[in-house]
Amino acid sequence: MPQVFVPKEITEGETRVACTPETTKRYVKEGFEVVVESGAGRHAHFTDEHYRDAGAKIVSGADAEAAWGNADVVFRVYPITPGDASKLTEGAILIGFMSQHRNLDSVRILRDKKVSTIAMELVPRISRAQSMDALSSQASIAGYQAILMAATYLDKYFPLLMTAAGTIQPAKIVIMGAGVAGLQAIATAKRLGAVVEVSDIRPAVKEQVESLGGRFIDFPMDESGEGEGGYARELTPEQLAAQQKVVREKVVAADAVITTALVPGRPAPKLITEDMVADMREGAVIVDLAVEQGGNCELSKSGDMVVAHGVTIIGHPNMPAATPADASLLYARNIQALLLNMLKEGEIVVDVEDEILDGALLTHNGEVRHGPTAEAL
């Protein structure tokens, strides 16, 4: 009977859990033994009793420490620390976000212990893996939360208001990047009654933007801005300067700006310069969802909220954690879909010929399989 261990997340601000009572029931039904560290689901409001009722074994203290070495599979949300990586038994399977470019010491340990590490951010964007796409499930929550945070700190209403004292014009929102987070931000801002304009270097997303009620900011390019897997590709310095010129007028006139632009494996592009911020009106808000990858705004600081030139700039590094219950439900379902895909006649099979695992395996059999990470070591 394969054993799954769900440790408690210890990183400050991480409220999610990688396995819920719902997914626990399914694992038990499929023949897994599920071991959960006491308090693992507390921040998402899943109690130890909920897990027991679902069929899990609850451990704490020395038993929780021992569970790291006894487990066939360990689930994580936040990237594993070198200390925790060293607790895993040789040949174990680790499933979670890795942020491998910032976590190389852990990668080395996982490689040397011959752990099969499945990085959720490396799951390929193919139709068969849609139910496993944790980046998308968590990005959708981040886009939703970004708008709520902007509305909280903005000094005006989002919707058009007609009152006996006169009319209040709707807020003008600019969203940079129309991926999953950006599209959810558009939908949420429109529900709140704002006027929404959207910038993206991929012309193919224009129809999606407009279907949600956003106005697409046309950005003329000699070639498509779409890269591998449908993500935006890295722009040349000349193209980036041209994009900044096009969006500058929109950003300066905005009440709030949500930035979501990411390029896989690269630092986030700097789309908002300090001089652009200086020209924005006092009281405006910027929410930088790319802050963990360096930020789309030159003035963003990860984990901090700064005020520059009268503009509030929010650099929340883990926006999905602000909605822990639903973020955990979705993430746990992503992991469940992935693990059950590996289950063959009651045994977990790490099949490197499987297109999903081939893309998502960071380490396996003592090797680092992800090219950019191997080069960085």
Q: pLDDT tens digits, residue range 286-316?
A: 999 999 889 999 999 999 999 999 999 999 9
> Quick one: pLDDT at residue 224?
54
8-42 per-position pLDDT tens digit: 999 999 999 999 999 999 999 999 999 999 999 99
Complete domains list, the chain, with CATH: 3-122+324-363 (3.40.50.720), 136-322 (3.40.50.720)
125-177 per-position pLDDT tens digit: 999 999 999 999 999 999 999 999 999 999 999 999 999 999 999 999 999 99
- Which sign does the torsion angle of CA 19, 20, 23, 24 carry? positive
Q: Is 125 a catalytic residue?
A: yes
Asked if residue 321 has pLDDT above 90, the reply is: yes
Query: Is the pTM higher than 0.75?
Result: yes
The pLDDT-based confidence of 180 (bands split at 50, 70, 90) is very high
The pLDDT-based confidence of 235 (bands split at 50, 70, 90) is low
The pLDDT-based confidence of 245 (bands split at 50, 70, 90) is confident
Percent with pLDDT over 90 in the chain: 84
The pLDDT-based confidence of 223 (bands split at 50, 70, 90) is low
Q: Is 38 a catalytic residue?
A: no
> Quick one: pLDDT at residue 202?
83
> Quick one: pLDDT at residue 222?
54
Catalytic residue among 53, 105, 130, 224: 130
> Quick one: pLDDT at residue 312?
98
Asked if residue 275 has pLDDT above 70, the reply is: yes
> Quick one: pLDDT at residue 220?
66
Q: Is 191 a catalytic residue?
A: no
Catalytic residue among 136, 208, 244, 302: 136
Q: Is 130 a catalytic residue?
A: yes
Catalytic residue among 125, 233, 248, 266: 125
Catalytic residue among 133, 200, 255, 288: 133
Asked if residue 346 has pLDDT above 80, the reply is: yes
Percent with pLDDT over 70 in the chain: 95
Q: Is 27 a catalytic residue?
A: no
C-alpha 32: how far from chain center: 28
> Quick one: pLDDT at residue 233?
52
> Quick one: pLDDT at residue 263?
74
Average pLDDT over the chain, rounded to an integer? 93
